[in-house]
Amino acid sequence: MEYRKLGRTGLTVSVVGYGTAPLGDMFGITDEDAALQSAYRALDAGINFFDNSPFYGKGLAEERLGKVLRGRRQEIIVGTKAGRYGPDEFDFSAERIRRGFEESLRRLGTDYVDILQLHDVEFVDLEGPRWWAEDLYGCPSRRRGVPAPRRRRELSGQPILHPAFRLRHHIDRDREAATP
């Protein structure tokens, strides 16, 4: 498997990621054992980036990914999302993102995620998301380690608003640089 640095986050991610929407039955009912086995096979193939959302199966994908994380958490870069919770349910308020983040941590069975993304940001003013890290946790988004209420929980890297775009940008830039 080939890996790349994700911007300035300090994270090294596989160039192929695992999207967990099928774990949440987003494309039809999936047998849980088969779903979990596909995730284990991806890990065994060297895929370390798992892209997740509470929207996928109303949390089912996060619950299933949580089972995969048990005993292998340090191998996996977990990205999850906030802001979209149902087909027509969008809420990018600080309170809902905070609550959604805590809910995601509980479903995943972990006390941290590596990447927190705003899901479907086209439904929010693009200038608006800059407030989220400071409003949510009282720290600038450029600071590492974002403490959550009640007990310390953190993003292991820099909070990222839309890393898929950044990852695509870095891959495209690397590809352009390699082209004669």
* Residue 23 pLDDT exceeds 50: yes
pLDDT at residue 39, rounded to an integer: 95
For the stretch 161-169, contacts whose Cβ atoms lie closer than 8 Å and that sit 24 or more positions apart, written own/partner, are 161/117, 161/118, 161/121, 161/129, 161/130, 161/132, 162/117, 162/118, 162/121, 163/6, 163/7, 163/9, 163/79, 163/115, 163/117, 164/51, 164/117, 166/6, 166/7, 167/4, 167/6, 167/7, 167/13
Tens of pLDDT, residues 61-77: 999 999 999 999 999 99
Return mean pLDDT, the chain.
75
In whole angstroms, what is the distance from residue 2 CA to residue 15 CA? 6
Between 129 and 110, residue with greater pLDDT: 110
Q: At what angle do helices 94-108 and 60-69 cross, to 10 degrees?
A: 50
Amino acid residing at 174: D
Amino acid residing at 8: R
Confidence class for position 173, pLDDT limits 50, 70, 90: very low
Q: What is the pTM of this model?
A: 0.70
pLDDT at residue 49, rounded to an integer: 96
Copy the structure tokens of residue 127: 């200038």
pLDDT at residue 123, rounded to an integer: 65
- Is residue 23 helix, strand or coil? helix
* Residue 158 pLDDT exceeds 70: no
In whole angstroms, what is the distance from residue 157 CA to residue 146 CA? 9
The CATH code of the domain at 3-178 is 3.20.20.100
Tens of pLDDT, residues 29-59: 889 999 999 999 999 999 999 999 999 989 9
In whole angstroms, what is the distance from residue 62 CA to residue 7 CA? 25
Active site residues: 56
pLDDT at residue 178, rounded to an integer: 54
Listing DSSP states for 26-51 in one string gives BTB---HHHHHHHHHHHHHTT--EEE
| Residue extents of the structural domains in the chain | 3-178
Question: If you search the block for the tokens 């994700």, which residue do you land on?
Answer: 6
Tens of pLDDT, residues 86-113: 888 888 777 888 888 899 999 999 988 8
pLDDT at residue 136, rounded to an integer: 53
* Residue 154 pLDDT exceeds 60: no
High-pLDDT (> 70) share of the chain, %: 68
Contact predicate 160/118, CB 8 Å: no
Amino acid residing at 156: S
pLDDT at residue 96, rounded to an integer: 84
